[in-house]
Chains A and B, each alone.
Chain A
Amino acid sequence: MITVALLGNPNTGKTSLFNHLTGSYEYVGNWSGVTVEKKVGLLKSKAGHLIDLPGLYSLNPLSRDEAVASHFLLHETFSSTINIVDASQLMRNLHLTIQLLEFGKPLFIGLNMIDVAEGRGMHIDTERLAKLLHVPVIPIVARTGRGCNELAQHIEADITAPASPFFLHYGDTIERAIAQIEQSIDVNTTISKRWLAIQFLEGNPLVRTYMESLIPTDVLKQILATTEAHIRTHEKMASVQLYIHHIRLKFIMDIIDQTVTDTDKNKTPLTHTIDRIVTHKLLGMPIFLLVMFFIFVFTFDWLGSPLSDMLDDFFSGPLTDGLRGALTAIGASSFIQALILDGIVAGVGGVLVFVPQILLLFFFISLIEDSGYMARVAMVMDRVMEMIGLNGKAFIPMIIGFGCNVPGVMAARTIEQPKERLLTILLTPLMSCSARLSVYALFVGAFFAKNQALVVLSLYVIGIVVALLLAKLFSSTILKNEASFFVIELPPYRLPEPRTLWRSTWDKGKGFVKKAGTFILAGTVVIWILTYAGPNGLDVPIDESFMALFGGAIAPLFAPLGFDTWQAASALITGFLAKEVVVAAMNIFYFVPDGGTLQGILVDFYTPLQAYSFMVFLLLYIPCLATVAVIRKETGSTKWTFFSIAYALVIAYVLTLLIYQIGSWLGY
């Protein structure tokens, strides 16, 4: 069984290639930072595993994402590497290639995007390139899969001739330093000593730490200092890192000279034309807001809700009747019947009903990612983010957070600065996720039937505004920042491939459905039992159940907020498990008679203002259990995890209080 590592610059189609080679789907996005974890897939031919590492420009890491790849190379075993290279950006991409060649393990180059290169008038002699680099170079178009089979065959046949180990001469000064280092390592290492030496001189912190276990720190420091001094005086370069970069660049340009022929330099790509509109001085932000509005209107008013209603009718009608018949036929006890029909079907079904809206939202997020528009969004939003102490890249985890807070928090890994990353992680849960969406859908359907999209949009906007304000607050007080910086690559626009898009959507949506099958199912059963049982025994009227008692005990806390019923209080408690459970809980607490709907019933218990303040509280009050777990993992700190819970509760209470009190005073 072979293990192959896949490495390449961001935005080179790495994950598309991964999908074609493994036949199993992984999360794809056209914006660097989406692949945040190493992903392992089984090769189609079952010959072994392929590991997809985060995109990086150089093995010398600048962000945590990039450090993953370096760590992998240093500490894990694998048989060979595939380096995916963007043919239209050779000068940039080959830097990583050189470093990988120096590493010494068998390497295969997948030369991707040759169609883009041709479109720009560039023709590349792949055979010549292969000869110059001493490794196989296979032209591919990862988006369509062209050439991928050939690449796969190469990896599996492992037909690299024992390569003349790649050797780039870095000039006498550096070579002397390398020799010194190599000699100082008196043990046998599995990793190429030359590679270690070069990476160390380049300033790779992971390699430095690794080296310190092999060579005394003083020796290392001394070698580096002498080399640096020499480079400054004799080569007139500011640092060893820059000098090494310069040498590599000369080599790369020589290669390009020999392999690339430029035929037509003056085509204006379509991308630039689109960008002129989308990142236009005045139109940029309004266009983005318009796009978001359109997404919401489509998801709720036009398509999502009608589909949702159809599902609802199915669950409460034919499905329930059918199950009831089946259960009676097998003679199930009334307890079991009640558990299944009133508990599980009502509860879990109540959540599944919102799958159409969720999938639509995920579809649009995937569309924005795959097409490359996400990067422009980060650019357009950067000015606003800069004012609150973050940068445009922090906007992306938040956008993802609209789908689900969990991957949103994880996406913050691409933010290079630790304080900014922490801030983004703390604020992403304020983004109204798809789970909360199912609760909103329930309430707006009941109370704001004529203005569904608008009301839901208002909630999303509240989440964003609160996040922005808190960001400003936190970054000027608790998290006093070093200045944030922002450099972003704008990949060319692509028309997303429908199959990739569908898989992208389904993969995100799958999480939602899976949650339904596990957390929510378990939670629903527990909740249902707590409503079924009470101090006086089983099958008690709901007002006398454990749930009612417990909810009733804390309900008074919510009186100033407008919803001091035990049902609301209990539902909020269950919401910690997963926000969708609130819907399931409501379905159970308000027992719905035949022919009625939960929405119909809710109208009798709450006013629109109360419903709205409930939704605002739900938006802000606490991240769900899964999110809290991920926050703990990403920050590595229990203190900040508790902080994220505490500040959320405070903000939720205060804001909801304001909204309800002012609203009632205004006469709503």
Chain B
Amino acid sequence: MCVDNRSLIFVYTFFTRNDKKNIIMIENDYHLPLGEEAVMFLTGLQIGEKAKITDVSSVHKDVQRRLLDLGIYEGVEICYTCTLPFGGPYILECAGQCVGIRRKEAATILVERL
């Protein structure tokens, strides 16, 4: 099947924006090769992996602002530490500081694996 990458992203984002459906949609680690680098959603990372944030604009604007204050924004390197069970929060480490965010938000953040 030949599908354009951009339409894939659009479709994916469309689904994940709808809160009720997102838990099922994000279960799979979704790779979206764009050019040479592998860009993916934060939820696709494995524990302990480092990645660079490429896009946080789909996140709820208050969460974006808070993440900005805490030093997490586009271009910053983070390390995915762990996640709590049953769809619980993600813990990210950035510049020696640990921050927790909800899976819902993590699923809309695009990162580039390092």
- Closest A residue to B57 by CB, please name it: A238
A290 within 8 A of B: no
Task: Tell me if B63 and A490 are in contact (CB < 8 A).
Answer: no
Closest residue to A86 on the B side, CB-wise?
B97
Most chain A CB atoms below 10 A, which of B63, B66, B84, B91? B84
**What CA separation (Å) do A458 and B81 show in the bound complex?**
35
Which residues 69-88 of B sit at the A interface, judged by CB distance below 8 A? 69-71, 81-88
Q: What is the bound-complex CA distance between A408 and B83, given in angstroms? A: 28
Q: Is A206 engaged at the interface, CB distance under 8 Å to the other chain?
A: no
A140 on interface, CB distance cutoff 8 Å:
no
Q: State whether A120 touches B89 (Cβ < 8 A).
A: no
Q: Which chain A residues (387-444) contact chain B, with CB distance < 8 Å?
A: 391-392, 416-417
Cα distance A474–B79 in the bound complex, in angstroms: 37
Q: How far is the CA of A392 from the CA of B91 in the complex (A)?
A: 14
A383 with B95: in contact, given A57-B70, A487-B101 (CB under 8 Å)? no
Assess the A486–B96 pair: CB atoms within 8 A.
no
CB nearest to A203 among chain B residues:
B65
Do A485 and B102 have beta carbons less than 8 Å apart? yes
The answer to whether B71 touches A383 (Cβ under 8 A) is no
CB–CB B70/A487 < 8 A: yes
A92 lies within 8 A of B88 (CB): no
- Whole-angstrom distance between the alpha carbons of A91 and B94 in the complex? 11
Interface flag for A58 (CB, 8 Å): yes
Main secondary structure of the interface of B (DSSP, over half): mixed
Q: Number of contacting residues on B, CB 8 A? A: 32
C-alpha spacing A207/B89, complex, angstroms: 34
> Taking the nearest CB of chain A, how far is it from the CB of B22, in angstroms?
11
Residue contact A379 to B105, C-beta cutoff 8 Å: no
Q: How large is the interface on A (under 10, 10 to 19, 20 to 34, 35 or more residues)?
A: 35 or more
Tell me, in angstroms, the Cα distance from A664 to B57 when the chains sit together.
59
Stretch from A216-224, A273-281, A559-567 at the B interface: A273-281
Find out whether the CB atom of A379 lies under 8 angstroms from the CB atom of B100: yes
A382-B89, A383-B88, A486-B102 given; A281·B83 CB < 8 A = yes
> Cβ of A658 < 8 Å from any Cβ of B?
no
A278 vs B9: C-alpha distance in the bound complex, in angstroms? Answer: 36
Query: In this assembly, does B62 line the interface, its C-beta being within 8 Å of a C-beta of chain A?
Result: yes
The answer, yes or no, to whether B98 is at the interface (CB within 8 Å) is yes
- Whether, in the assembled complex, A489 has its beta carbon less than 8 Å from a beta carbon of chain B, the answer is yes
**CB atoms of A392 and B62 under 8 A apart:** no
Name B91's contact: one of A238, A383, A416, A490 (CB within 8 Å): A490
Q: Are B98 and A62 in contact (CB under 8 A)?
A: no
Q: Which residues of B are interface residues toward A (Cβ below 8 A)?
A: 19, 57, 60, 62-63, 65-71, 81-89, 91, 93, 95-102, 105
Known: A91-B95, A486-B63, A489-B99. 20 other contacts (CB 8 A): A62-B65, A92-B69, A92-B70, A92-B95, A275-B91, A276-B82, A375-B100, A378-B100, A379-B88, A417-B62, A485-B105, A486-B100, A487-B66, A488-B99, A488-B101, A489-B70, A489-B98, A490-B98, A490-B99, A490-B100
